[in-house]
A and B are shown apart, each in its own frame.
Chain A
């Protein structure tokens, strides 16, 4: 038993660590993103955005303020739970207040919490719904913003696995880079 422990608990993980650090260095270390030599986030872990000129991510149940990297988890609220219904109602009202010009159907992911609380993506429909607000805040045309959104939209893997998605952090960083906010 001790032999198996050493083999599977030390040799194997350490071997994998060594190989992964050599072969896939960035990915093994968290796909961290740096801007001006400062790490600002990970390509795989979402973060909070609340200013009008940024695309906002999904609500998050990770930690007290959301997107806490050490407290992953979902809301675990059941579909009949009044807390869930009230929360979604509040999210819907908040969205309409912040995005008055959007009158279409609200994509479900925008008002629901993800399972991990660290979801870095939103659906393309959710990005479209926020387009007007972001364009107005940055004083740009919808088409300029939309082409940037499309550049950051990943399609289904192998054409049919999963869903199309937009990485919020990468999109927002690109927005700042291409269209710096006017002060």
Chain B
């Protein structure tokens, strides 16, 4: 473990602690309607939006109404984006003249962005017009992030309120999230990134002649406006195919650090928001600590594994030194790439600054673990804290069973109904990942079929053997976790994968949010119990250890056989 790796991991953590606590408190104030430093300029805009859309900001919804709003909003977004993609050849701002997208790709892409995944079966700079990028990708990043934040707030309010079934107003939460949090940070982020070299223009691609006389086309576009929201929203859908490894999206190590912080900022702030609103600040700190520990552990393992290099290459030429640089950028090197990959897979963002398909097996194991842990290691914008709360409920439930007491969380009794919802979320999503991963090996398709023109689905793998299995496990894990990163050797742009991954994303997103909202609804109705001597503390070292243990157990038990066949097998093959 070099000093370079340790210092970069530390830098991320230290800065994260410094910004997430104030950001968490700010978010709490915004969502509860209190005045903040942005209130004076933005309140009039906020109320103008309510008037134009016919939203009554005083109206509070119960969990079914809130869920219905989430779903209908999602459906609207899907339809709008689908039509935009299918008609992009007729619409303006298409200087390269890209054609319409195939229906299965348009379906997958629209689902992908509405579920805050941004799985991209396509290469941005050769498929999407500028209008599709701006009006589609950028907008969806904002809206899906805001929707996630709104749902998280509803769950948090379920704990904070008592004796009511009102959880807030989805449309108000949505507007506040966008106006007060996402837009201001994006604007500042965009200006900073552009100052470092990220491009922002609407010109057609530039044709030039290189020094040695060859032709080179340089792709352009409105990248700097899309980049910060791509990261902050935990969407992660890059402008270019190479995502944040592309010099026009991530030109310097400094932008790299800022991009990692943008990805983690809101997810890391949410534990503090949770703590502030429920008045259990120490619990917020404990959740943050659990996330930070798992993140550091994952980063260190990945950095160590990549720095050790690829043993298979040592056989070829014992002279090659410098770690596993395949798929990584020179300006980032081993450490900054490794840490970014952990940030990306832990946070359900899915932006990449290196090729995940080319990582060594132990790193792949860490990345897969992050994906399949339910995205609780900071997790997504809103979805992270929701998943974490669900896992805490499992933890408390198990602990309650062990000591023979009825489980309660922040004064609210956890009963069978709530646990059933939690299990629904976890079991269905895990089952979806495993089922969709195994299907390609069971289903027989002939060459030339609509579902997969290449024939057998295993022919879409970019790499043979255990690594190929890892590609499929990773893809489905990424879709269900709404992450969106990929081991890009897998050719996923065929109707089969576009459909199954699209379904995985819908399941992973809505079968986590809807059960969580149901839990919020039933919790909000309960009266808060005061703490007694028998109450299990939800802060402190003991709880932290039990929580970490539960996260490991739930993930490892479910996926251990899969991990064995994929990355672990490869790790032993490579020796």
Interface residues of A, Cβ cutoff 8 Å to B: 1, 3-5, 7-10, 12-13, 15-17, 19-21, 23-24, 27-32, 38-45, 47-51, 54, 58, 62, 65, 67-82, 84-85, 88-89, 92, 105-109, 111-123, 125, 156-158, 160-163, 165, 169, 172-173, 176
Check if B574 sits within 8 Å of A4, measured CB to CB.
no
Instruction: Tell whether B82 is near chain A: CB-to-CB under 8 Å.
Output: no
Q: A5-B80, A70-B205, A114-B328 are in contact. Are A161 and B353 (CB under 8 A)?
A: no
Question: Nearest 9 pairs between A and B by C-beta?
Answer: A162-B253, A115-B245, A163-B333, A108-B322, A76-B489, A74-B355, A72-B242, A78-B467, A116-B242
Tell me, yes or no, whether B317 is within 8 Å of chain A by CB: yes
Chain B 235-257, CB within 8 Å of chain A: the 1/0 string? 00000111001111001111011
Q: Which of B175, B208, B470: most chain A Cβ within 10 A?
A: B208
Task: Establish whether residues A116 and B11, one from each chain, have CB atoms under 8 Å apart when the complex forms.
Answer: no
Q: Which of B4, B330, B332 has the most CB of A within 10 A?
A: B330
| A67-B216, A125-B322, A160-B11 known; A41-B210 Cβ under 8 A | yes
Cβ of B105 under 8 Å from chain A: no
**A residues less than 8 Å from B178 (CB atoms):** 4, 7-8
Q: Report 20 cross-chain contacts, Cβ distance below 8 Å, ordered by A residue.
A: A4-B178, A13-B222, A15-B187, A24-B194, A44-B248, A68-B216, A68-B217, A69-B217, A75-B326, A76-B489, A77-B358, A78-B358, A79-B467, A80-B573, A84-B312, A106-B317, A112-B324, A115-B354, A158-B254, A163-B332
Contact assessment for A162 and B210 in the assembled complex, using a CB-CB cutoff below 8 Å: no
Partner of A161, one of B175, B253, B358: B253
B252–A162 touching, CB < 8 Å: yes
Query: From A126, which residue of chain B is reached at the shortest CB distance?
Result: B330
Contact (Cβ within 8 A) A40 B358: no
B125-A12 in contact (CB<8A): no
| Contact with B123, one of A48, A73, A89, A114 (Cβ below 8 angstroms) | A73
Known contacts A80-B312, A109-B330, A112-B325: A41-B216 contact under CB 8 Å:
yes
* Residues 152 to 193 of chain B near chain A (Cβ within 8 Å): 174-175, 178, 183, 186-187, 190-191
Instruction: Pick the contact of A10: B7, B8, B135, B240 (CB < 8 A).
Output: B135
A161 touches B217 (CB 8 A): no
Contact B316–A12 (Cβ < 8 Å): no
Query: Which partner residue on chain B sits nearest A89 by CB separation?
Result: B316
Query: Nearest chain A CB to B449's CB is how many angstroms away?
Result: 25
Given A51-B212, A113-B326, A116-B247, are A74 and B488 also a contact pair (CB < 8 Å)?
yes
Contact assessment for A76 and B246 in the assembled complex, using a CB-CB cutoff below 8 Å: no
With A8-B139, A92-B320, A117-B242 as contacts: A42 and B218 at CB distance below 8 Å: yes
Chain A minimum-CB-distance residue to B141 = A8
Give complex CA distance A115, B151 in Å: 35
A4 to chain B, nearest CB (A): 6
User: When chains A and B are docked, how far (Å) is the Cα of A154 from the Cα of B467?
Assistant: 36
Across the interface, which residues of B come within 8 angstroms of A92, CB to CB? Answer: 316-317, 319-320
B317 lies within 8 A of A40 (CB): no
CB distance from A57 to the nearest CB of B (A): 9
Min distance, Cβ B60 to any Cβ of chain A, angstroms:
21
The answer to whether A77 touches B183 (Cβ under 8 A) is: no
Q: Is the CB of B220 within 8 A of A30?
A: yes
A62 to chain B, nearest CB (A): 8
In the assembled complex, the Cα of A124 lies from the Cα of B333 at a distance in Å of 12
A58: chain B residues at CB < 8 Å are 330
Complex Cα distance, B183 from A114, in Å, reads 33
Which of A45, A75, A108 makes the CB contact (< 8 A) with B309? A108
Q: Complex: how many Å from CA A43 to CA B208?
A: 13
Instruction: Check B219 for interface membership: any CB of A closer than 8 A.
Output: yes
Q: Which residues of B contact A7 (CB under 8 A)?
A: 178, 183
Q: Please indicate the chain A residues that have their CB under 8 angstroms from the CB of B331 in the complex.
A: 119, 121, 162-163, 165
A77 touches B357 (CB 8 A): yes
Q: Using Cβ atoms and an 8 Å threshold, which residues of chain A touch B256? A: 161-162
For B359, the chain A residues whose CB sits under 8 A away are: 79
Select which of A49, A106, A117 is within 8 A of B321 by beta carbon: A106
Q: Does B408 contact A (CB under 8 A)?
A: no
**Which B312-343 residues sit within 8 Å CB-CB of chain A?**
312-313, 315-317, 319-333, 336-337
A1 to B55, CA, bound (A): 11
Residues in B whose Cβ lies below 8 Å from that of A114: 245, 327-330
Check B418 for interface membership: any CB of A closer than 8 A: no
State the Cβ distance, B274 to closest chain A Cβ, in Å: 25
Q: Is the CB of B488 within 8 A of A1?
A: no
Give the residue name and chain of the A residue nearest to B223 (CB): A28
Most buried by A among B309, B325, B332, B337: B325
Q: Which residues of B contact A67 (CB under 8 A)?
A: 216
Residue B361 lies at the interface, judged by CB distance under 8 Å to chain A? yes
**What does the 1/0 interface line of B1-21 toward A look like (CB < 8 Å)?**
000100110010000000000
Question: A30-B199, A47-B210, A79-B312 given as contacts; is B319 within 8 A of A1 (CB)?
Answer: no
User: Given that A24-B194, A74-B245 are contacting pairs, would A39 and B206 also be in contact in the complex, using a CB cutoff of 8 Å?
Assistant: yes
Given A73-B488, A77-B463: A4 and B201 within 8 A (CB)? no
Q: A47-B212, A76-B489, A80-B570 are in contact. List 19 more A-B contacts (CB 8 A).
A: A1-B77, A16-B194, A16-B225, A17-B201, A28-B199, A28-B201, A30-B248, A68-B216, A69-B205, A70-B125, A84-B313, A85-B316, A88-B316, A115-B245, A115-B358, A117-B242, A122-B330, A163-B332, A176-B211
